[in-house]
Amino acid sequence: MAPPSSTTASSTTASSTTASSTTPSSPAPKTTVAKPAPAPAPAASPVTAVKKTELAATPQKAAPVPRSNSYLIQLAAARSSKGARNEWDRLKTKNKDLLGSLGLIVTKADLGPGKGIFYRLRAGPIANETAARTLCQQLTKRKIGCLIIKPPR
């Protein structure tokens, strides 16, 4: 899990991407580099567009759409939006009592050269900070990392 700050994100994938760029004779890294290439097309879109796309991709969950003034919790960060959705499905299945009423929000975060792009798995809406803290404490007791995301000012 990578917190929202850029200082703690993993750089292992970025290192392998750099290595594959400098070794053109290896066909496997070229295939690996080619797969992420389609993902940057949505990167030109604003982050809010990514949120709408991710919410639209999971309509069968019928989760509430977070209001801009509500709290969220961040449960994980993945290298792909599909990875974030898969982790959400896993966490929600094992923790229905805590996460069942929350909706999935995947946000794209470009942490710059050397770190790359992460997709943050967030859930909400949560009414207030007290409810978010209580939920994070309960998840932490189950050994699930949790960060509180305050509403934008």
Residue (of 17, 54, 12, 53) closest to 32 by Cα position: 17
**Residue 119: what pLDDT?**
98
Type of residue numbered 19: A
- The whole-number average pLDDT for the span 41-46 is 40
Task: Write out pLDDT tens, residues 20-40.
Answer: 344 444 344 333 333 344 444
Give percent of the chain with pLDDT exceeding 90. 54
* Beta strand 103-110 pairing with 71-78: unpaired
What does pTM read for this prediction? 0.57
Report CA-CA distances (Å) from 111 to 26, 92, 104. Answer: 27, 27, 21
**Residue 69: what pLDDT?**
82
Provide the mean pLDDT of the chain: 72
Question: Domains in the chain and their CATH numbers?
Answer: 11-44 (no CATH), 47-149 (3.30.70.1070)
DSSP codes of every residue in the chain: ---SSGGG---HHHHHHHHHHH-TT-HHHHHHHHTTTTTHHHHTS-HHHHHHHHHHH-GGG-PPPPPTTSEEEEEEEESSHHHHHHHHHHHHHHTHHHHTTPEEEEEEEE--TTT-EEEEEEEEEESSHHHHHHHHHHHHHTT---EEEPPP-
Instruction: Look at residue 60 and tell me whether its pLDDT is greater than 60.
Output: no
- The whole-number average pLDDT for the span 85-111 is 97
**Residue 8: what pLDDT?**
37
**Degrees (nearest 5) of the Cα angle 117, 118, 122?**
150
More confident residue, 67 or 11: 67
Task: Enter the tokens of residue 126.
Answer: 């949560």
Task: Write out pLDDT tens, residues 103-145.
Answer: 999 999 999 999 999 999 999 999 999 999 999 999 999 999 9
